[in-house]
Every structure is written in C-alpha cells, then in structure tokens.
C-alpha cells in the first residue's frame, strides 16, 4: 500500500502537470546541493517550478493524466521542471546549465503531446522568448510611428516658420 507521503506527492505532481503546459525532465546527478538551491531560487523568480520526484511517482502521474512518451526518460535521478512558456523554461534551465558544467542535463521536454530531446531542445533554447518577440513587435510598430511623428513635427516647425515670416512681412508693410 502506498504511504500517505507518496499519495500526497502524487497529487501534488498531478496538480503541477495539469496546471502547466511545459514538462521538462532533467538529470540533476552531480549537481551540488548549493547549486541545486541556487537553481530552485532562480527558477522560482522566473515563475518556473523545479521538483525532485521519485520516478515511480512521476510514472504514475503520467499514466493517470495520459501523458505518453516520457516513461523511457524516468531512469536515475530525475527532476521535474514545469512552467507556462516553452522557450522561457528551456532557456532558464539551459542558461543555468551552461554556467554549471552542463548540470542539470536535459532528459526530455514534453509540449503539446510531443516529446523533444537532444537537438530539438537545443533548437528550442535558441528561439526568442515570448517577451523578446513582443519587444520586437513593439519596436517594429514603434519605428514607423516615431518616423511619422518626426516628419509631422518638422512640417509643424516649417508651418510656424512660414507664419512668422508672413507676420514679419505684414508688420514691415503695415
């Protein structure tokens, strides 16, 4: 019979999986405790959850929620990383990994019913995040508007100059 602690952990994992679109499995083997804590803090600030979970509990949660394709990656030390934005989650883990001797290592990423590994994960980490894309769109929209404002302000300056010239001419004549 399952212990109360395992049942609670299973329910917590199922809740995490149901409320997040992105599932990332990483191996934390070799990651020092202080680095593990640092990673957790960094990810938490980014709105990303990092949990070390027993593989059997993860497997039961996946079965219960009909998430298929990840069972082969539930070997050795596994941590669950979940979040809302695919690129953001992958980049956050990848950036930390680059600074800490490649740890944690990606096992698999699950998104919209598909499992991504190796080169797919590397390609995802190179994509711009949602925020970066929005900034590019705003910048692209803002540039023509700024140009228009500049042109219009120049026209207004010219108009003011013409009106002053006419005013001066009339005052000299009159």
Taking only the tens place, the pLDDT of each residue in 19-47 is 999 999 999 999 999 999 999 999 999 99
- pTM of the predicted model as reported, rounded to 2 decimal places: 0.78
Residue of higher predicted confidence among 154 and 22: 22
Measured torsion, CA atoms of residues 13, 121, 66, 113, in degrees rounded to the nearest 10: 130
Cβ atoms of 40 and 32 closer than 8 Å = no
Structure tokens at 140: 């692209």
Taking only the tens place, the pLDDT of each residue in 86-115 is 999 999 999 999 999 999 999 999 999 999
Cβ atoms of 17 and 65 closer than 8 Å = yes
């Amino acid at each position: 019979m399952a212990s109360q602690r395992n049942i609670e952990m299973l329910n917590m994992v199922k809740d995490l999986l149901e409320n997040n679109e992105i599932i990332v499995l990483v191996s934390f083997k070799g990651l020092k405790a202080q680095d593990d804590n640092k990673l957790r803090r960094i990810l938490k600030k980014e709105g990303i959850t990092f949990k070390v979970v027993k593989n059997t509990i993860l497997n039961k949660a996946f079965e219960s929620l009909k998430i298929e394709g990840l069972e082969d990656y539930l070997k050795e030390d596994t941590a669950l990383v979940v979040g809302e934005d695919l690129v953001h989650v992958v980049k956050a883990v990848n950036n930390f990994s680059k600074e800490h001797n490649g740890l944690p290592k990606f096992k698999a990423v699950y998104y919209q019913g598909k499992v991504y590994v190796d080169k797919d994960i590397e390609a995802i980490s190179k994509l711009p995040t949602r925020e970066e894309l929005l900034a590019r769109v705003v910048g692209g929209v803002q540039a023509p508007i700024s140009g228009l404002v500049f042109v219009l302000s120049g026209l207004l300056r010219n108009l003011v100059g013409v009106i002053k010239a006419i005013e001066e001419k009339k005052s000299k004549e009159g």
